[in-house]
Amino acid sequence: MKITALRLAALAAAVAGLAACSTPSQGDARIAATAQLTASSSVAQPNPQLPVRGTLEFSQLGDTVRVNGVISGLKPNAPHAFHVHEKGDCSAPDFLSAGGHFNPTNEPHGAAGSAHHHLGDLPPLMADASGTARVSFSSKSLTLTGPNSIVGRAVIVHRDPDDVNAQPTGNAGPRLACGVIRAAN
């Protein structure tokens, strides 16, 4: 039986279609979460007419968590510290109800991605001239599942940059905005 190029192309398309319909394996399942950040009512905002707010999206595939989002109302052209905190509680006006940095492994505070750092230490935010920071990074330290999951914890944006050396918090100043990380539906 002779296979023509047309039949071969049709067979390849059918195989590709079946592969696309297959159920992903457990390791291929994507997990997602979001956080809506709102401004503190008791801490002076960089721009009172446009308080700090934003949306973050977290997605995990395998052992990598991807974080994307936009945060506005920040001090223009300035760095800001950004951390996951231990409690998912943004109820206090100054957000101290969120507790300290998420640190289940009992590491010293440090730069995200360094050998020793809190699991909650995130890369710094850098606001542009309009006071907006675009967030886009991947992390193998963060997880959305298991005992060290960040789901149900709070994300905090601080007024000042993180010096990454001061213990235990990086001397990052007051908490400008807070949002609880919630599993996506």
Active site residues: 83, 85, 101, 109, 118, 121, 158, 175
Band (155; pLDDT cuts 50, 70, 90): very high
Q: Which of 10-19, 55-64, 84-93, 115-124 has the lowest mean pLDDT?
A: 10-19
Residue 17 CA from chain centroid, whole number: 34
pLDDT over 70 percentage in the chain: 75
Mean pLDDT computed over 150-173 = 81
pLDDT tens string 68-100: 999 999 999 999 988 899 999 999 999 999 998
pLDDT at residue 47, as a whole number:
86
User: Above 60 in pLDDT, residue 65?
Assistant: yes
Per-residue pLDDT at 109: 64
Which contiguous run of DSSP H or E holds residue 12?
Answer: helix 5-21
* Six-digit token string for 140: 């193998």
The architecture in CATH of the region 26-183 reads Sandwich (2.60)
Q: Summarize the confidence of residues 127-132 as an average pLDDT.
A: 96
Q: Residue 176 and residue 114: Cα distance in Å, rounded? A: 25
- pLDDT band of 25, cuts 50, 70, 90: very low
Q: Which residue has the tokens 């996506």?
A: 184
pLDDT at 117: 61
Assess whether pLDDT exceeds 80 at residue 115. no
Identify the band that residue 170 occupies on the pLDDT scale cut at 50, 70 and 90.
Answer: low
Res 55 pLDDT > 60: yes
Average pLDDT, the chain: 82
Residues 6+ apart with CB under 8 A from 24: none
Pull the structure tokens for residue 60: 């995990």
